[in-house]
């Protein structure tokens, strides 16, 4: 993963997804931008803060617009298959924790503050997906459910998928004191002797189980709680903002200009 800055925003990109000519993506940090009232953090947690940053973030990525979700730590997967779907999602964000589209220009967006943003791209079937995976989503395998939906709706072959797992709560900080009542026993093998879970490895294993090749998975290895200057962290701050992770297919005009 590497960092860049554009339109006053600092964001991270995956090397593997950046090598794909037909896709745009970004994982925005909390680092601020200058405004008329001084330096502001880049926050996507409220309607007002999202509105302020939405246009700037779209310009950074080349998205025609960003499509957000009403995230509930569940397993619903939203599919954006037409321009009408984009307008409907903009007016009333779908209640889901993963979103898929093959529509150029649609910036599929999830918000995080310790949870994982998992970004997927199928360069053969020309499809992208963004997944919000907290610990509840992990144990429910939201990743597997999203890939299953990509196969069913778009004919995606998981072996073609390029995957990136963004900055999130790392195995250094993901402590679950009450894990025996919160986390199913089959996941206890990912726990150390201080009750800290490696959800990064869980996601890698779930991607592999769904058919994604290990060589096509990139993990940021960056803990949000350990890097408060760059990232919001619910574990570290309780009341805090949200980062946004975006992925989508380039429109033909933008693709030609960037290649």
Task: Give 51's pLDDT tier (boundaries 50, 70, 90).
Answer: confident
> Token pair for residue 243?
């980062």
At 199 the pLDDT is 98
For 101-110, the pLDDT digits (tens) are 999 999 999 9
For 139-155, the pLDDT digits (tens) are 999 999 999 999 999 99
What is d(CA 62, CA 216) in angstroms, rounded to the nearest whole number?
24
The CATH topology of domain 2-258 is 3.60.140
Classified as helix, coil or strand, 60 is: helix
For the chain, percent of residues with pLDDT exceeding 90: 80
> Token pair for residue 139?
């144990």
Contact 224, 166 (CB under 8 A): no
At 254 the pLDDT is 53
Instruction: Give the CA-trace dihedral at 10, 254, 24, 161, to 10 degrees.
Output: -170
For 179-227, the pLDDT digits (tens) are 999 999 999 999 999 999 999 999 999 999 999 999 999 999 999 999 9
Flag whether pLDDT at 257 surpasses 60.
no
Task: Give 256's pLDDT tier (boundaries 50, 70, 90).
Answer: very low
At 253 the pLDDT is 62
Mutual orientation of helices 142-154 and 199-209 as an angle, nearest 10°? 30
Model's pTM, two decimal places? 0.94
Instruction: Provide mean pLDDT across the span 7-14.
Output: 92
Closest by CA to 130, choosing from 114, 111, 113, is: 111
Sorted by where each begins, the domain ranges of the chain are 2-258
């Amino acid at each position: 993963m590497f960092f860049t800055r554009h339109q006053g925003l600092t964001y991270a990109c995956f090397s593997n997804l950046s090598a794909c000519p037909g896709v745009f993506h970004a994982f925005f940090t909390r680092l601020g931008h200058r405004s008329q009232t001084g330096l502001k953090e880049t926050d996507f947690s409220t309607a007002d803060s999202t509105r302020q940053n939405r246009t700037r973030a779209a310009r950074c990525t080349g998205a025609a617009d960003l499509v957000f979700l009403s995230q509930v730590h569940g397993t619903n997967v939203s599919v954006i298959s037409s321009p009408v779907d984009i307008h409907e999602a903009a007016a009333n964000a779908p209640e889901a924790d993963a979103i898929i589209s093959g529509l150029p220009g649609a910036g599929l967006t999830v918000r995080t503050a310790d949870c994982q943003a998992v970004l997927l791209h199928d360069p053969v079937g020309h499809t992208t997906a963004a997944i919000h995976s907290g610990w509840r989503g992990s144990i429910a395998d939201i990743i597997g459910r999203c890939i299953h939906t990509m196969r069913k709706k778009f004919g995606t072959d998981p072996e073609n998928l390029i995957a990136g797992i963004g900055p999130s709560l790392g195995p250094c900080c993901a402590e679950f004191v009450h894990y025996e009542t919160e986390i199913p026993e089959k996941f206890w093998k990912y726990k150390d002797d201080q009750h800290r879970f490696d959800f990064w490895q869980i996601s890698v294993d779930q991607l592999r189980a769904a058919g994604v090749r290990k060589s096509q998975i990139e993990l940021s290895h960056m803990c949000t709680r350990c890097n408060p200057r760059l990232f919001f962290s619910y574990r570290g701050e309780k009341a805090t903002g949200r980062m946004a992770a975006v992925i989508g297919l380039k429109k033909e005009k933008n693709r030609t200009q960037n290649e």
